[in-house]
Amino acid sequence: MAENEAHRNRVFLVVVDDTPEREVALKYAALRAKKSGGRVALLRVLEPVGQTEWAGIGAMLAEERRREAEQLLSGLAAQVTEITGGMPIILIREGEPREELLQLLNEDPRMSILVLAAAPGPGGPGPLITALTGRHAHRLRVPLTIIPPGITEEELERVT
């Protein structure tokens, strides 16, 4: 595969969670994709709806959460398209976030680089980064890029 083709096929995977760091990871991935001719993939993992006495209510809750996820991803996809000029890959899965992420990375050969942003302060870097750089590091099959907390827009532009 030619080097240009390898760059064009590079997919930067961003986990779409509810943390403020998601925006930094998204921006970094979009800038890298734009500058390298790659693509961005957005993964939203929905934790399973707990057991309810009425199956219909559980199904309704699951459908509502899926609609909310689609709406969120649609808005983020527009941001990515504005930066890169191309539509991102949209992925929605249900399960435990770390396990679904690792399973996706093992199943989908398109994924090239996982991009996560670290949380600032004593709560950082975050449970996913902690797991993927610790006990579960051996399960990663792609490079992991961790964006440090407090990085500015100018620094993002410079390093991408």
Residue 69 structure tokens: 């996820």
Q: What is the pLDDT of residues 40-51, one digit of tens each?
A: 999 999 988 766
Query: How much is the average pLDDT of 15-39?
Result: 96
Whole-number pLDDT of residue 72:
97
Whole-number pLDDT of residue 124:
85
Whole-number pLDDT of residue 26:
97
The whole-model pTM stands at: 0.89
Contact 13, 113 (CB under 8 A): yes
What percentage of the chain has pLDDT greater than the value 90?
A: 80
Query: How much is the average pLDDT of 1-14?
Result: 69
Cα(9)–Cα(4) distance, rounded to whole angstroms? 9
Query: How much is the average pLDDT of 57-62?
Result: 80
Half-sphere exposure of 99 (CA within 13 A, CB side): 6
**Domain map (residue ranges) of the chain:** 3-159
Whole-number pLDDT of residue 96:
94
> What's the mean pLDDT when you consider all of the chain?
91
Contact 78, 50 (CB under 8 A): no
Give the pLDDT band of residue 58 (cuts 50, 70, 90).
Answer: confident
Query: How much is the average pLDDT of 16-31?
Result: 96
Range 3-159: architecture per CATH: 3-Layer(aba) Sandwich (3.40)
Contact 16, 40 (CB under 8 A): no
Q: What is the pLDDT of residues 64-76, one digit of tens each?
A: 999 999 999 999 9
Give the pLDDT band of residue 60 (cuts 50, 70, 90).
Answer: confident
